Amino acid sequence: MTNKNIIVTGTSRGLGLEICRFLLGEGVCVFGISRTKSVDTLSLLEQYPQQYVHFDYDLSDITGLKKGIFAYLSEHQIPVHGLVNNAAISMESLITDVSSAELVNLINVNQIAPMTLTQLAIKNMLLYGTKGSIVHITSITAHKGYAGLALYGSTKGALEAFSKGCAREWGRKGIRSNCVAAGFMETEMTQSMTEEDKQKVYNRSALKEAVSTESVAATVSFLLNEKSKSITGQTIIIDAGII
């Protein structure tokens, strides 16, 4: 999948970092977005100076999304071949305990930002006649009920509905849209959980273990390339077999 330009959000840590590493290893040019550069981000910039471009940006600032990365792409006439909407805010709280401000911020980052980025990416694809692929990272919480994750799961469920609509609207132009609903992984998002609580979650799965971030990254890569050219409007669930 060389000579491709892929935008990935939330690349400073966790799954986004793993996706970024995986794609760079395949020779892809990655345009990463995260609020700040982590030590791992700086390492990738040094290791892949010709392939990796990073933008410091807080996705909660919806009004500024047209600037920054898309202004850069427009100025340098760079076509977008793929977008991975990975960045998200994790919120573990009962619905009665969340303030209006927290809810608005959650929706902005988890729904509005990826929807806006998708709009901008599709416009770029149409400009250059690119048959691109969009992958939204959603969550098993959109399909299974977990106490304290109702609001987080609802934002991911909305993204899945949005993805199906995008697939229907733009399939005629060869633009695909799919979701990867990931289960519980060993990332910074789950660090607040005790080992006992994590194990309870893992024991609900057939494999009795955490979801591999590398497995998710490999699936994302597959959905971005031509080997999956007939797959669109789908949600691929990677949850270690929760039954």
The rounded distance, in Å, linking the Cα atoms of 8 and 11 is 7
Q: How far apart are CA 106 and CA 158, in angstroms?
A: 12
Structural domains counted in the chain = 1
- Residue 42: inside a domain: yes
- Determine, yes or no, domain membership for 100: yes
The predicted structure's pLDDT at residue 190: 60
Residue 162, pLDDT score: 98
Query: Strands 52-56 and 82-85: what pairing?
Result: unpaired
CATH number at residue 227: 3.40.50.720
pLDDT reported for residue 94: 81
d(CA 203, CA 83): 33
Question: Does 68 map to a domain?
Answer: yes
**What was the pLDDT predicted at 2?**
62
Q: Are strands 52-56 and 176-182 parallel, antiparallel or unpaired?
A: unpaired
The answer to pTM > 0.85 is yes
Q: Which domain holds residue 208?
A: 5-238
Tell me whether residue 163 is in a domain: yes
- Domain-located, residue 51: yes
- Token representation of residue 241: 């077999």
Any domain includes 243: no
3-class secondary structure, 169: helix
Phi, psi of 30 (to 5 degrees): -110, 135
Q: Does residue 130 form part of some domain? A: yes
157 lies in a domain?
yes
Residue 202 has what pLDDT? 75
Q: Beta strand pairing status for 5-9 and 82-85? A: parallel
pLDDT tens digits in sequence order for the chain, 243 residues long: 568 999 999 999 999 999 999 999 999 999 999 999 999 999 999 999 999 999 999 999 888 888 889 999 999 999 999 999 999 988 777 878 889 999 999 999 999 999 999 999 999 999 999 999 999 999 988 888 778 788 899 999 999 999 999 999 999 999 999 999 998 887 665 666 677 776 777 777 788 888 899 999 999 999 999 999 999 999 999 988 876
Max distance between CA atoms of the chain, in angstroms, equals: 51
What phi and psi, each to the nearest 5 degrees, are found at residue 38? Answer: -90, 175
